[in-house]
C-alpha cells in the first residue's frame, strides 16, 4: 500500500446562518465554521478554527419610514365584482349589499372596523389621504405615527365616505376615538358622480359638517411620536378618507396632514414584516411639500 504523504491544506467553510436577531434597525446573524479536511504533512491550516462563530450585521434598514401605512380589506360582502360596470365605470349603488342594511332607528348595522383577517392589500401614502373610489366592497385603514413639530394644542379633522373613525393616543393600545363620520363627508367631484381628492378636502373647511368629525383640541409635545389611525367603510359606490390638522405650524389648514415639515418627519409608519411599502397610486394627491407656515 502506498501512502500519500504530500502536504494537504485544510479545507472548511461556514454553515448556514441563523435568522437575523432583529427585523429592522440592525441585528446580527451567526454561522459556525466547520473543518471538513484537516491540514497534514505541512499543509496550510484553515484561517479559522473548527467551531468558530461568524457574526454578521443584517436588516440594517430603519424600522420607521416617512409616510403612513394604508391597508385595504375588499369584497367583504361578496359584491366586489359588482363595483364597476362592464365599461369600467363605477357603480354608485349596491342596494343588495349587507353593508346597506339598517337598524330600526335608521342607522347602519355595519360600522367601520378593521376585520380580524390579513388585509388584501397595503401601500404607503405621503400625506394623510387615501386614493378615492378605490375600495371595492370593503374597508380601509391609514395608520402610523404623528410627530408634532411644536408643542401646543392640535385639532384633527376627518373626512370620510361612507363612514369613518379617527383614533389617537400615545401608543396603539391606548388610542381612543377622537372623531367620527356617521354617514359620509364627501361629494362627487366629476360629472359622472365619481369622487376626486379635491372634492373630499372641501369638508375640512365646511362649517356645516358633522360636529363629531372634528376632534377637541389635544395638547401635544414637540417631537413625541403619537399613534394615529383613520378607518372608513365603503358600503356602495364612492369612497374617500382624509385627515387634516390645525395647530402648531398649521393654521386654518384645509389640506391632508403632510409627511414632513421643515425637513423633519411629521408622519411615519413602522416597517414590520412588510418592510418598506410601495406608494399608493393617488390621482390628484396633495403636494408632498412641508405645508403650513413657519
Domain boundaries, the chain: 11-58, 65-274
Domains 11-58 and 65-274 share a fold: no
Tell me the Cα Rg of the chain.
27
Q: Which CATH class is domain 11-58?
A: mainly beta
Which whole number is the average pLDDT over 155-165?
90
Model pTM score: 0.77
Q: Whole-angstrom Cα distance, residue 140 to residue 97?
A: 17
Enumerate residues 6+ apart whose C-beta is below 8 A from 5.
Answer: 41
Predicted pLDDT at 23: 82
Mean pLDDT of the chain: 86
Enumerate residues 6+ apart whose C-beta is below 8 A from 1.
Answer: none
Q: Whole-angstrom Cα distance, residue 255 to residue 243?
A: 8
Task: Pick the range with the lowest mean pLDDT from 50-64, 103-117, 279-293.
Answer: 279-293
Burial class of residue 264 (count of CB atoms within 10 Å of its CB; 0-12, 13-18, 19+): exposed
Fold entry, domain 65-274: Jelly Rolls (2.60.120)
Which whole number is the average pLDDT over 38-48?
94
Predicted pLDDT at 186: 62
Residue-wise pLDDT tens digits, 215-249 = 999 999 999 999 999 999 988 888 889 999 999 99
**Spatial contact of 201 and 254, defined as CB atoms under 8 Å apart:** yes
All cell numbers assigned to 39: 491540514
Amino acid at each position: 500500500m502506498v501512502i500519500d504523504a504530500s502536504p494537504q491544506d485544510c479545507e472548511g467553510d461556514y454553515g448556514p446562518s441563523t435568522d437575523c436577531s432583529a427585523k429592522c434597525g440592525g441585528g446580527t446573524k451567526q454561522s459556525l465554521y466547520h473543518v471538513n479536511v484537516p491540514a497534514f504533512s505541512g499543509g496550510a491550516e484553515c484561517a479559522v478554527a473548527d467551531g468558530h462563530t461568524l457574526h454578521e450585521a443584517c436588516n440594517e434598514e430603519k424600522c420607521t419610514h416617512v409616510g403612513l401605512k394604508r391597508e385595504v380589506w375588499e369584497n367583504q360582502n361578496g359584491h366586489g365584482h359588482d363595483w364597476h360596470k362592464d365599461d369600467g365605470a363605477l357603480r354608485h349603488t349596491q342596494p343588495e349589499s349587507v353593508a346597506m342594511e339598517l337598524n330600526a332607528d335608521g342607522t347602519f348595522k355595519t360600522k367601520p372596523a378593521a376585520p380580524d383577517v390579513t388585509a388584501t392589500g397595503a401601500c404607503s401614502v405621503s400625506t394623510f389621504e387615501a386614493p378615492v373610489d378605490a375600495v371595492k366592497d370593503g374597508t380601509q385603514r391609514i395608520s402610523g405615527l404623528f410627530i408634532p413639530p411644536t408643542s401646543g394644542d392640535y385639532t384633527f379633522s376627518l373626512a370620510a365616505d361612507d363612514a369613518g373613525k379617527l383614533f389617537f393616543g400615545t401608543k396603539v393600545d391606548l388610542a381612543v376615538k377622537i372623531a367620527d363620520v356617521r354617514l359620509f363627508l364627501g361629494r362627487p367631484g366629476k360629472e359622472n358622480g365619481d369622487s376626486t381628492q379635491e372634492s373630499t378636502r372641501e369638508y375640512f373647511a365646511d362649517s356645516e359638517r358633522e360636529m363629531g368629525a372634528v376632534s377637541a383640541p389635544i395638547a401635544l409635545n414637540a417631537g413625541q411620536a403619537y399613534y394615529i389611525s383613520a378607518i372608513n367603510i365603503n358600503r356602495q359606490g364612492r369612497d374617500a378618507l382624509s385627515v387634516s390638522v390645525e395647530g402648531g405650524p398649521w393654521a386654518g389648514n384645509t389640506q391632508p396632514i403632510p409627511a414632513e415639515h421643515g425637513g423633519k418627519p411629521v408622519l411615519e409608519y413602522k416597517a414590520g414584516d412588510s418592510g418598506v411599502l410601495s406608494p399608493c397610486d393617488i390621482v390628484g394627491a396633495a403636494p408632498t411639500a412641508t405645508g403650513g407656515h413657519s
